Amino acid sequence: MSVTKWGVIAIAILQCHATVALGNSLIARNELTIATVHTVNIPFVKELRDFFAPEFNRRMQAQTGGAGYEWIEAYGSALLKWHNGLETVSIGLTDFGWVGTLWEPAKMPLQNITYYLPFITDDLGVLMRTLNQIHRDLPAARQAWTKHNQEFLAATGIETYHLLTNFPVHSLDDLNGRKILAPGSSAVWLKGTGAVPVDGALTTYYTQLKTGVADGVVSMVTGAYPYRIHEVAPYLTLVGIGAQFAGALSVNLDRWNHFSDAERSILRELADEYTDRSAVAVEARYASALAAMVKEGAIVATLPPSEKQRWIDGLPEYGKQWVERNQAKGLPADEMLRLLMDGVRRAGLQPQRDWDHYE
């Protein structure tokens, strides 16, 4: 059941009262609330609505004979805002929520590893399955969630990043002195290219490019296409900077602890399937957006392999830096990095840069 803005507010008030009355157990309700910051236009949100929620009820009824739950669905920032996903799930304002780990680098540094280490792999499915396995194998990864009163369920992410520019890119030298939009941690991806990182966001890219504030952008195609970035930066250079772990589906820990063993088993099974389905859906959206850009006049080229290797080789020892920075905080960063890189290799892929091989 989807809800209106005022309906969500009413749910929030009722759940807050329930939290106080029941010691945050929420066990009295035969309802489950699920919330996201994005709308169902985003593949991993659509999979929550169309697969995860209804399939949980179907499997529970088939395996346990239970009546199932009524799902109260709050997609698109009605209940969960981009900057407070952890808190919203933590206090039980929603039972299930998609938490954007990319917005929580201070609270969840281990979960932000891919944004600081480009050129690992373009294969989103492999990367997300590896992150799911890491959360099973590495206690510190799970504890990053349980310390915020929630249980990690399923990793989701976005496809690899490319360049969109208002000039052709035939070699790395073409980027020298150019102003490239690369906000936040993505600015480190441009180190050694000669490009000048410029801050911005998807909502501001078009104007920044049109007014000359920037000459190009590092972006995923599925994000760039809806904002018409190819109209002001028509040269799309396929680089493959790497897929990214952007966030995860989690569940309030008090609610999780009151599920039966059978229900938790079903949720674990569904979580892995949800990760796979979301990755497939994202890749399909990528192919569709790329085809649409070409049809609408984008000039697509692939950065020559030798030039891509120059880019990769010119980056600093980010793996070593990331490990040292996070080990100093008492986190098992070296083990996290090793598990990530080994997981990609076990899947039969060769990371484009072996960040775990350093002096």
Instruction: Please give the average per-residue pLDDT across 291-315, as a whole number.
Output: 98
The percent of residues in the chain predicted with pLDDT above 90, rounded, is: 87
Q: How far is CA 27 from the centre of its chain?
A: 30
Angle at 263 between CA 259 and CA 264, to 5 degrees: 75
User: Is the model's pLDDT at 287 over the cut of 70?
Assistant: yes
The percent of residues in the chain predicted with pLDDT above 70, rounded, is: 92
Burial label for 35, CB within 10 Å (0-12, 13-18, 19+), is buried
Instruction: Please give the average per-residue pLDDT across 272-293, as a whole number.
Output: 98
Could you give the residue ranges of the DSSP H alpha helices within the chain?
5-21, 43-47, 53-64, 85-90, 113-116, 124-137, 139-146, 202-210, 221-224, 229-232, 253-257, 261-295, 305-313, 318-327, 333-346
Taking Cα atoms as reference points, which of 37, 40, 241 lies closest to residue 159? 241
CB atoms within 10 A of CB 164: 26
Q: Which residue has the higher pLDDT, 81 or 209?
A: 209
Confidence at residue 7, expressed as pLDDT on a 0 to 100 scale = 46
CATH topology of domain 161-242+292-346: D-Maltodextrin-Binding Protein; domain 2 (3.40.190)
138: which residues sit within 8 A by CB, 6+ positions away? 110, 332, 335, 336, 339
Confidence at residue 82, expressed as pLDDT on a 0 to 100 scale = 82
DSSP string over 305-342? HHHHHHHHHTS--HHHHHHHHHHTTT--HHHHHHHHHH
CB atoms within 10 A of CB 317: 14
User: Is the model's pLDDT at 154 over the cut of 50?
Assistant: yes
CATH classification number, 5-104+123-157+244-286, choose in 3.60.15.10, 3.30.930.10, 3.40.190.170, 1.10.340.30: 3.40.190.170
Instruction: Tell me the whole-structure pTM to 2 decimals.
Output: 0.91
Quick one: pLDDT band at residue 55, thresholds 50, 70, 90? very high
Q: Which residue has the higher pLDDT, 68 or 234?
A: 234
| Per-domain boundaries in the chain | 5-104+123-157+244-286, 161-242+292-346
User: Is the model's pLDDT at 281 over the cut of 50?
Assistant: yes
- Two tokens, residue 46: 């659509």
User: Is the model's pLDDT at 305 over the cut of 80?
Assistant: yes
Confidence at residue 175, expressed as pLDDT on a 0 to 100 scale = 98
Mean pLDDT, the chain, whole residue set: 92
Instruction: Please give the average per-residue pLDDT across 224-247, as a whole number.
Output: 97
Quick one: pLDDT band at residue 121, thresholds 50, 70, 90? very high
Confidence at residue 80, expressed as pLDDT on a 0 to 100 scale = 85
DSSP string over 27-41? TT-SEEEEE-SS-TT
Confidence at residue 29, expressed as pLDDT on a 0 to 100 scale = 62
Same fold, 5-104+123-157+244-286 and 161-242+292-346: yes
Confidence at residue 11, expressed as pLDDT on a 0 to 100 scale = 47
Distances (CA, A) of 217 to 119, 186, 188, 194, 196: 17, 11, 13, 14, 11
153: which residues sit within 8 A by CB, 6+ positions away? 96, 248, 249, 250, 251, 267, 268, 271, 274
Distances (CA, A) of 186 to 11, 38, 195: 37, 21, 13
Instruction: Please give the average per-residue pLDDT across 84-94, as a whole number.
Output: 96
